[in-house]
Amino acid sequence: MGEAPLDCLVVGGGVIGMAVAREVARTGRSVALLERRSETGAEATAAAAGMLAAAAEAHSPGPFFDLARRSASLWPEWAEQLFEESGVDVEYQEAGLLRVTTSAEAVGDLEIRRTWQLAQGMEVSGLLSLEELRQEVPQLGPDVVAGLHYPGVAHVHSHRVAEALAVAGSRAGVRLQLSAEVTAVRPLGDLLEVSVGAERQLARRVVVATGSWGEEILRGLGVDLRPEPVRGQMLALCPRGLSLPEIVFGDRGYVLQKRSGLVLAGATEERVGYLAEPTLEGVARLAAMARSLIPELGLAEFSRAWAGLRPFLESGPVIGPLPQDERVILALGHFRNGILLAPVTAELVRGALDGGLQPAGLTAFSPRRIPGG
C-alpha cells in the first residue's frame, strides 16, 4: 500500500476487462488492470472465433438483441481507433453470414427468425434455397436445405483484438499487473480495498470482469452470482486453395475463414467444469459439422484444436454498478458474445462511472436483477 488510491481498478484481463480499462483510461482517470495469469487475453478471449454476429446469436427481439446490435454498430469505428492507438490491425471484415439449416423441420424456425428480425429493421434476405445460397458460398454441401443471408455481418481476429487492447490500454495509461490474482474486494471508508495475495491496493472504483471466475470476490461483496464455465472447442484447418467468402452458421456450428486462410470450425457447448482442453469427441463432432456444411473441408490439413471457457450466467450479461455499493461495477456473463459485446460493455461501464443516464433499453443488464444485487 502507501501509494495514492487509483481512480479505478479493473479485475480480469480478458477482452472485457481490457476494453473497460482502455475506455476508463481515455477519460483521464488513473486505472490499473489486474490479471491473475502471466499474460492478458489468455482465457475465453483467446479461444473465440471473433464473429460479431448479433443476427445469429439472438433468438428473439429484446434487450439482448438491442445490446448486441448496438455493439456491432460500434465495432467499425472501434477497430479503426484500436489501429490508430496500437498499430495492430484486428482484421475487421464485413464478410456477411449465411444462417443455414440441414434439417427440413428447422426451416420454419428460420422463417420465424426472419420475420422478427425484419420487424426490428435487420438487413436479411428472404428464405433461400441451396441453389440460391450457393450464389454466395459455392462450396456449400448438399446437406444444406435452406438459409438466410445477412450481408455485412463482420468478424475480427480475437488474438489481435486482445493485442490491440493491451497496447492501446498501456498507451492510454493503463497500469498492467500480471500474475496478480485478486481474492477479495472490501469497502474501506471512502475507498475499496483490493486484496492481491498478501498485498492490498486501494481504489475509488473497482470493475469485476473475471469471466468464468470471481465467485469468491462476488460472495465477499454479498452478491449471489455464480459464473459457470461452458467449454467451447474449436478446430483450425488449412484448406489449400479454398476461399470461403462468408461465415456459414448452421444448426450445430459454424465455419469461417480468417485473413491468413485458416478456416475455423466451432464450437462445442459443454458443461464440464473448469476443464479447458479439447477432446477427441469434440474434435470429431466439429469435423463432421464442418464437412456437412462444406464437404471440401474434408481435404483440408488439420492445423490445431483448442478450447476455452465461456462465462455463462443464468441471467444473461450483467453490466453495471452494484445497488448496495455503486463503487463496484460488474461486467460479467458475456457467454458466447464477449468479443461482439466488448465495445458496448466499455461504453456502459464508462457511463456508470460518469454517473450519466444509460442509453435507453440498455439498462436491462443492471445487477439490480440479481439476488443480493
Ligand X SMILES: Cc1cc2nc3c(=O)[nH]c(=O)nc-3n(C[C@H](O)[C@H](O)[C@H](O)COP(=O)(O)OP(=O)(O)OC[C@H]3O[C@@H](n4cnc5c(N)ncnc54)[C@H](O)[C@@H]3O)c2cc1C
Report the 10 Å Cβ neighbour count for 224. Answer: 11
C-beta separation of 292 from 251 below 8 A: no
Plot region of 50 (φ>0 → left; ψ -120 to 50 → alpha; else → beta): left
Residues between 155 and 184 that touch ligand X (CB under 6 A)? 181-182
Among 15, 144, 248, 313, which residue interacts with ligand X (rule: CB under 6 A)? 15
Whether the Cβ atoms of residue 204 and residue 7 lie closer than 8 Å to each other: yes
Binding to ligand X by residue 201, rule CB under 6 A?
no
Q: Quick check: 51 binds ligand X (CB under 6 A)?
A: yes
If one asks whether residue 37 binds ligand X (CB under 6 A), the answer comes out as: yes
Q: Compare residues 49 and 146 and give the one whose CB is closer to ligand X.
A: 49
Which of 8, 9, 10, 13 lies at the binding interface for ligand X (CB under 6 A)? 13
Q: How far is the CB of 45 from ligand X (least distance, A)?
A: 3
- Cα distances (Å, whole numbers) of residue 67 to 71, 347, 366: 6, 11, 12
The H or E element that residue 133 is part of is: helix 130-133
Shortest Å distance, C-beta 76 to ligand X: 15
Site string for ligand X, 303-332 (x = CB under 6 A): -----x-xx---------------------
Pick the binder of ligand X from 5, 50, 317, 367 (CB under 6 A).
Answer: 50
Alpha-carbon radius of gyration of the chain = 21
Which CB, 5 or 14, lies closer to ligand X? 14
Look at residues 100, 92, 99, 110 and name the one whose alpha carbon lies nearest to residue 52: 92
To ligand X, the closest distance from the beta carbon of 369 in angstroms equals 18
Distance CA 267, CA 256 (A): 12
Nearest distance in Å: CB 79, ligand X = 14
Give the residue, chosen from 5, 141, 147, 211, that forms a contact with ligand X under the rule CB under 6 A: 211
Alpha carbons 74 and 93: distance in angstroms, whole number:
14
Of residues 54 and 133, the one with the C-beta less far from ligand X = 54
Site size toward ligand X, by CB under 6 A: 42
Between CA 184 and CA 141 the distance in angstroms is 52
Q: Which is nearer to ligand X, 93 or 212 (CB)?
A: 212
Q: Which residues are CB-neighbours of 363 under 8 A, at least 6 positions away? A: 320
230 vs 362, which CB is nearer to ligand X?
Answer: 230
Count Cβ atoms below 10 Å from residue 56 Cβ, excluding itself: 20
**Burial of 29 (C-beta count, 10 Å sphere; 0-12/13-18/19+):** middle
Q: What mask, x for binding ligand X by CB under 6 A, covers residues 264 to 303?
A: --xx------------------------------------
Position 318: which residue type?
V
Rule CB under 6 A: which residues touch ligand X? Answer: 11-17, 34-37, 42-45, 47-51, 181-182, 209-214, 232, 234, 266-267, 308, 310-311, 334-340
